Amino acid sequence: MTSVSVRDLSLSFGAVTVLDKLNLDIDHGEFLVLLGSSGCGKSTLLNCIAGLLDVTDGQIIIHDRNVTWEEPKDRGIGMVFQSYALYPQMSVEKNLSFGLQVARVPQAEIDKRVKRAAEILQIQPLLKRKPSELSGGQRQRVAIGRALVRDVDVFLFDEPLSNLDAKLRSELRVEIKRLHQSLKNTMIYVTHDQIEALTLADRIAVMKSGVIQQLADPMTIYNAPENLFVAGFIGSPSMNFFRGEVEAKEGRSFVRVDGTAFDVTAYPASVPLKPGQKVVLGVRPEHVKVDEARTDEPAHQATVDIEEPMGADNLLWLTLAGQPMSVRIAGKRRYPPGSSVRLSFDMGVASIFDAASENRL
């Protein structure tokens, strides 16, 4: 069942069109992440759904109700911002209950909801404190609590973890996931952080210049990016790209890059690769094997430029076919700079894009 439906949504600021006939359906109970770099329009889309921005054209439907021109408070949504937006002079308890008091919810019901939200978010000991007496993570918990007490079906999050340090960010990320698993309401979450997107989302909408580039579950986005932009945006370090030309020889297919021919016969292309076609071969760092190729397997000789041991993983930076690339191997396998290695590629899980259209083949 659809919870939120965005239909042909357009929004312009003066002469600048940020969203142009955008369509998006979000299922009931789904955790949808809007992911993209700064300025791609993800906050603008969220603010349109929230009712904080007037749309230029199109419709926002929430639970089968056209709310395009309704006030934010009447849309049945709760919103959590990056900046917390707490009332500094009020206690945590008052911050949680204030909106309900304004909406004339009976006091007994308010007490019940505040108690429940405080329990879920484990902020009971903080209820009497002022926001200035809280850490960033605690403030964001209160901000989430304020959305929670509204008892709404749809939560909107705008980069809620961006102001927190890395450790708190990962802790609160798990809590938001736990919250979604227990409440099962619809969540729409804006971020530019791919780890948040991959770990939290049921589906990710990757945006660029106001256009959704791919809408799919995290593993599909990671393993089968629809175009070069999505492939380069997701993954750290980035997917390795080799620009070259398709060649066919003795029943096998190759991508030739300068003097190097990559055997891509195992690549499961949706349409046959055409000899002479200009393509971009993409291989994730963990899909390259080091010194593991059988003697009959195609392999490439390279020299390690830089080694970045990261504990569980070891990241090697090398040069192949005249360009830098990264390879991720197990942390315990060490290759100091200058080491000579034999690289073999797992082409069954590679990506090949048409160089002109930049779409996946």
Ligand X SMILES: Nc1ncnc2c1ncn2[C@@H]1O[C@H](COP(=O)(O)OP(=O)(O)OP(=O)(O)O)[C@@H](O)[C@H]1O
Cα dihedral sign for 82, 87, 90, 95?
A: negative
Sheet containing strand 203-208, strands side by side: 77-81, 154-158, 186-191, 31-35, 203-208, 211-216
Please state, in angstroms and rounded to a whole number, the distance separating the CA atoms of residues 335 and 306: 9
328 lies in the site for ligand X, by CB under 6 A? no
Q: Where are the alpha helices (DSSP H) in 149-255?
A: 166-183, 194-200, 218-223, 228-233
Q: At what angle do helices 166-183 and 136-148 cross, to 10 degrees?
A: 20
Contact between residue 77 and residue 116 where contact means Cβ atoms under 8 Å apart = no
40 lies in the site for ligand X, by CB under 6 A? yes
* Nearest to ligand X of 12, 107 (CB atom): 12
* Nearest to ligand X of 29, 72 (CB atom): 72
38 lies in the site for ligand X, by CB under 6 A? yes
In the complex, minimum distance from the CB of residue 267 to ligand X, in angstroms, rounded to a whole number: 33
In the complex, minimum distance from the CB of residue 256 to ligand X, in angstroms, rounded to a whole number: 38
Please state, in angstroms and rounded to a whole number, the distance separating the CA atoms of residues 169 and 333: 30
* Nearest to ligand X of 180, 192 (CB atom): 192
Query: Which residues, including other chains, have CB under 8 Å from residue 228's CB and lie 6 or more apart?
Result: 241, 280, 282, 353, 358
Contact between residue 284 and residue 275 where contact means Cβ atoms under 8 Å apart = no
- Closest-approach residue to ligand X (CB): 43
Give the binding range for ligand X (CB under 6 A) out of 34-42, 73-81, 249-257, 276-284: 34-42
* Nearest to ligand X of 198, 343 (CB atom): 198
Please state, in angstroms and rounded to a whole number, the distance separating the CA atoms of residues 351 and 358: 11
In the complex, minimum distance from the CB of residue 75 to ligand X, in angstroms, rounded to a whole number: 19
Restricted to residues 187-216, the positions that interact with ligand X (CB under 6 A) are 192
In the complex, minimum distance from the CB of residue 156 to ligand X, in angstroms, rounded to a whole number: 13
Give Cα 124 to chain centroid, integer Å: 32
* Nearest to ligand X of 93, 196 (CB atom): 196
322 lies in the site for ligand X, by CB under 6 A? no
In the complex, minimum distance from the CB of residue 41 to ligand X, in angstroms, rounded to a whole number: 4
Give the binding range for ligand X (CB under 6 A) out of 13-21, 60-68, 195-203, 309-317: 13-21
In the complex, minimum distance from the CB of residue 85 to ligand X, in angstroms, rounded to a whole number: 15
Give the binding range for ligand X (CB under 6 A) out of 12-20, 133-141, 274-282, 289-297: 12-20
With CB under 6 A as the rule, give the number of residues binding ligand X.
12
In the complex, minimum distance from the CB of residue 221 to ligand X, in angstroms, rounded to a whole number: 17
Which of 4, 22, 32, 42 is in the footprint of ligand X by CB under 6 A? 42
In the complex, minimum distance from the CB of residue 195 to ligand X, in angstroms, rounded to a whole number: 16
SS3 for 156? Answer: strand
How open is the CA angle 243-216-186, to the nearest 5 degrees? 150
* Burial of 52 per CB tally in 10 Å (0-12, 13-18, 19+): middle
Which of 4, 6, 9, 18 is in the footprint of ligand X by CB under 6 A? 18
> Which residues make up the interface to ligand X (CB under 6 A)?
13, 16, 18, 36, 38-44, 192
